[in-house]
Amino acid sequence: MEQFTTSDYEADTFNSTDELFTEYDSGPSGLCDRQLVRQFNKSFEPPLYWIIFVIGALGNLLVVSIFTTVRNRLKTMTDVYLLNLAIADLLFLGTLPFWSTNASQGWVFSDVICKGVSAVYKINFFASMLLLTCISVDRYIAIVHATEAHNHKNKRMLYSKITCAFVWVASCLLALPEFIFAKVKTFSSQSNSCVMVYSVLDNNQTKVLVLALQICVGFLLPLLVIVICYSVIIRKLMQARSFEKHKALKVIFAVVAAFVLSQLPYNGYLIIEAAQANNATITDCDVMLSLDMAGQIVKALAYTHCCLNPILYVFIGVRFRRDLLSLIQRLPCGIKLPENKFQQVPKRPSVMSDTDTTPVFSL
């Protein structure tokens, strides 16, 4: 087995793939050859990215369509957060065709597009995670402090818009490394890639800092807030008597489980990558290649969350299902449902309530 040290490679990582280690050249020096990883990426990433793109775009476009056609205005904090979440997911999904092309053909676009796509990708990644956090806090306020939430409804609407503005500004600031370090680079295989090119003069400390920000702001902070908020909500639900607690609890567990299962493996991989950049403890070539390919799998798993958001945060709600039926009816070839059946909406709880007057969970 070949053994390697940090001096054996450059500090370049693919932005689209977040490799654990950098581009290696095969040759007389005996460095680790990444050709196997590149072939894996070429066959694995493009079809999966396009599937995520199509499914996610369809779901999130439906959400935006409902807000812009069926609902005349944003009435609650939940509406504000859900619309911004759908927009963030759509913009995030819009970068996937570029990364799919990068994996299959190399980067065929300009350096400016490389920086722009990298920045948009990271802005909307952070925005999506922070907005999920805001939704959890909003549900906590609306359910645990229902009376106060109703009494200050107008102020809460204003606060939600200010919060969304803060989320977008913060996401842009967190994406500054993409503007600075993203570049088109030609590797020894003669293929171009849009990569993050960090300086080796600081011993990879810049890369470690960037990864630490992504892990903390993009996972640990949202996870902490989500767990705390929904734990208090669950305790509140358990005290309710005339409430369909079991259905509501199932929805809560689905929301938390989807977030953890999709994001935890990828962020665990990023922790390994940060540790490797800070102190190259993994020196076995086969192990590094295996971890690199595993990183592509868990990253694709993390991307599926933008497909789940419309289902978990929107369409499980009674109100949104009703609005979806209304949207279908407005289409030229829409299904015409009997009026009485259309208006009879089953009353059952949903975790993503936008009713600020009661602790009921229905959208």
Q: Give the per-residue pLDDT at 21.
A: 42
Q: Give the per-residue pLDDT at 61.
A: 92
Mean pLDDT, range 262-268, rounded to an integer:
91
Q: With 80 as the cut, is the pLDDT of residue 50 above it?
A: yes
Q: With 80 as the cut, is the pLDDT of residue 141 above it?
A: yes
pLDDT, the chain, mean = 78
Q: 85-94, 187-196, 255-264: lowest mean pLDDT where?
A: 187-196
Query: 338: helix, coil or strand?
Result: coil
Do 252 and 230 touch, CB atoms closer than 8 A?
yes
Neighbour tally for 292: CB within 10 Å: 24
Instruction: Grade residue 357 by pLDDT with cuts at 50, 70 and 90.
Output: very low
Do 49 and 300 touch, CB atoms closer than 8 A?
yes
Do 237 and 246 touch, CB atoms closer than 8 A?
no
Two tokens, residue 1: 């087995």
Structural domains in the chain, sorted by start: 13-329+336-343 (1.20.1070.10)
Do 105 and 96 touch, CB atoms closer than 8 A?
no
Mean pLDDT, range 185-189, rounded to an integer:
73
Closest Cα to residue 307, out of 128, 133, 101, 168? 128
